[in-house]
Amino acid sequence: MKALLQRVTDASVTVEGDVIGKIGAGLLIFVCAMPEDTFDTAKALALKISKLRLFKDNAGKMNLSLAQTGGAVLVVSQFTLAADTSRGTRPGFSYAAKPDMAETLYLQFKTALHDLNIPVQSGRFGADMAVALTNDGPVTLWLDTDS
Query: pLDDT tens, 122-142?
Result: 999 999 999 999 999 999 999
Q: Is 79 a catalytic residue?
A: yes
Amino acid 62: pLDDT: 96
Count of domains in the chain?
1
Looking at residue 146, its pLDDT comes to: 85
Active-site residue, selected from the candidate residues 9, 68, 80, 134: 80
Catalytic residue among 6, 41, 55, 78: 78
Q: Which domain holds residue 134?
A: 2-144
23: CB partners within 8 A, 6+ apart? 8, 10, 11, 12, 71, 72, 73, 74, 119, 121
Mean pLDDT over 86-104 rounds to: 92
Strand 120-122, strand 53-56: pairing: unpaired
pLDDT at 83 over 80: yes
80 is catalytic: yes
Give mean pLDDT, residues 109-125: 97
Q: What is the pTM of this model?
A: 0.95
Please confirm, yes or no, whether 9 is among the known catalytic residues: no
Tell me which of 6, 30, 55, 79 is the catalytic residue: 79
The H-assigned helical ranges of 3-144 are 39-51, 66-69, 99-115
- CATH number assigned to the domain comprising residue 22: 3.50.80.10
Amino acid in the structure at residue 101: M
Contact 26, 10 (CB under 8 A): no
Percent of the chain with pLDDT over 70: 99
